[in-house]
Amino acid sequence: SSTSSMTPDNRTRRIVRIQSLCRSYLAQKHFQQYQKLQKFRSLVFNEIIDTETSYLQGLRDILEVHSKLSKVLTEAEMRSIFSNIHIIYSYNSHYYTQLEQCIKSWSITQKIGELFLQLSDFLKVYTEYCQGYNEGISLLQNVAKRNDVSHVLKDFFSTQRKHPNLGAYLITPVQRIPRYKLLLTELLKYTWESHPDYDDLEKACEKVAGTASYLNLKAKEGENLNKVASIQNNIVGKVSFIAPQRRFVREGVLTEVKASSNDKKKSRYVILFNDLLILCKPRRSFLGKKSINGNGTAQWKFVSQFPIKGTEILNDHDALPFSLEVAGSFEGPLILVAESDKEKSEWRNDLDTLIKEAHDMRIDLDSECY
């Protein structure tokens, strides 16, 4: 064969040529992989810039309404509602300027992990904000009922804003750190281990993740508090549902049927909290139409409430498909009818879970007494 007839020098040259071609192929393949990773790195970095731009604008809006409310609220009230928002804005503005410098000099070896490491050292300021967030939102809901405060807020939100109310603005710092965690994790995913930014990004991910877990919990608590407050604002009657440990679970329109009478069925707006079941009916205007508030949401009139503690779900009511029969410390069983078997199952599952939680909590409290 031609190979066997080759001289040793020719064979060596051929092997070197093949090795060179292999190295060239592998180098080209690695380069294409790096190009692909770099493309995704750039996309993630652009998302960081875009979301930070939007976040900063939201902080500016908070500072604007802060300035207006400072004329009608006490210093203590302002501190409770807005906490250290000025410090957060100041640092994030500085951080944003540095991000802009990074994008101007963007290259395949661009490093931003060190910047996020600096940011992670600042996160304790966010922790302070989040620790006082729930108390601040509760106070905001109370002072917003005053005419002077209501007038300021109505005037501020009369123009087009990013968020519909101040509560939706104030939760954004609580949500921002978990978002940093997601973006950093995504950036690390597209950064190869030999990249000069890899080690710093990995450290920054670890540091931000620890704080994000705590803030994530606070964000969920805050969203729940906003939801409870929103429900409260749409219900007419001298009743308050806002409580520190109260958790919103489910809401919907069900039909109430009296077990011991031939009364007609009544449509009820039903709200399930972790410790209460609330029944409301549509509020009618003087023209007989359903009343609508300024946000375009239907308003309801409070009818009754039932504690979850001590409540039990009875057997299905054979005469009423998709019905739930609930008994407890209140007078007579409560029968609620859903529109479908799926809807009934969802309500029943949530009620079963909450009843069990209330029962387990009572056992724990009884145990502590002995």
The whole-number pLDDT of residue 152 equals: 95
Q: Tokens 């190979």 — which residue?
A: 3
The whole-number pLDDT of residue 209 equals: 87
The whole-number pLDDT of residue 349 equals: 93
CA distance 336 to 314: 12
Query: First-to-last CA distance in the chain?
Result: 95
The whole-number pLDDT of residue 369 equals: 45
> Contact at 8 Å (CB) between 99 and 52?
yes
The whole-number pLDDT of residue 132 equals: 85
Pairing of strands 312-313, 248-257: unpaired
The whole-number pLDDT of residue 48 equals: 93
The whole-number pLDDT of residue 286 equals: 41
Cα–chain-centroid distance for residue 265? 37
The whole-number pLDDT of residue 365 equals: 46
Q: Which two tokens stand for residue 26?
A: 């592998």
Mean pLDDT by 10 residues, the chain (370 residues): 62 71 62 74 91 96 96 95 95 92 84 88 84 87 92 92 91 90 92 91 89 74 79 80 84 84 79 92 61 60 89 75 80 84 92 88 52
Burial status of residue 328 (CB atoms within 10 A of its CB: 0-12, 13-18, 19 or more): middle
Q: Which two tokens stand for residue 320?
A: 């009423």
The whole-number pLDDT of residue 293 equals: 55
